[in-house]
Amino acid sequence: MKRSVLVLLTALALPAQLALAGMFDDKEARANIEKTRADVDILSGRVELATKNQMDFANQSEAMKADLARLHGQLEVLLNDMEMTQKRQRDFYVDVDSRLRKLEAAAAPESRQTAPAQKNDSGQETRDYEVALEAFKSNRYVEANTAMLAFIRNYPNSSLLPNAYYWAGSSHYQLHEFNKAIDLFAKVAATWPNDPKAPDALLAQSNALNESGDGKEARKIMQKLIDQYPASSAAQTAKQWLGGKKK
């Protein structure tokens, strides 16, 4: 009888134990679910933040690419402008050089007749000058510069001095020795203002100033050229140059 009662009680208690165990299992499962949800939320937040950062980075990258493209465009424009300016300066110089060589050829016979004797040998003076000029015409600028400066020293009273100073300055210019060229061109205009080379010396001085980076002073000399020699071809070139700079 006792055994039967014990079996019966055991049978009755088993469902309760199973239910209690189930309750504990369900609570643990729910806790795991909540934990998992929390982990998912955290991970989702991180993914969202990473996605936002990636989008921000992509936007910044595109903006940087756009800025870089814009800067490249500006650089191309500046390089083109600089190339055009340098070409215009070279064209001006070639024009001046061509005109002055023609002037030199026309003036040489008269100079040979009127130049005062130097060291009792005016013929030697003319030969020395023509040797120096020929060196310049042959693009031997170092040799030409040396020869012209020697001519200036050897014949301080020569009527060819304005020419010699001009071509000495021109050889410095061709050698990119712009500061030296500026001084020699300025000497021509200041010492022999009525000489045919004076206007072209001012134009060449302005070109040398511009090449040296002093555009402000170059424009000043251009205006001086226009004011002092308005009818000269050099002044017309200066007007074109100044007009191009204003555009």
- Residue 158 belongs to domain with CATH number: 1.25.40.10
**Long-range contact list for 20-23, CB < 8 A, 24+ apart?**
none
Residue at a domain's end among 66, 81, 96: 81
C-beta of residue 148 within 8 angstroms of C-beta of residue 169: no
Please write the tens of the pLDDT for every residue from 173-184. 999 999 999 999
Token pair, residue 184, equals 């020699």
Please write the tens of the pLDDT for every residue from 137-165. 999 999 999 999 999 999 999 999 999 99
Residue at a domain's end among 81, 96, 122: 81
Burial of 180 (0-12, 13-18, 19+ CB in 10 A): middle
Q: Give the residue numbers spanning the domain of 56.
A: 1-81
DSSP letter at 116 equals P
Helices in 118-214 by DSSP H: which ranges? 122-137, 141-154, 161-174, 178-191, 198-211
At residue 64, the pLDDT reads 78
For residues 120 and 102, state if they share a domain: yes
How many folded domains does the chain comprise? 2
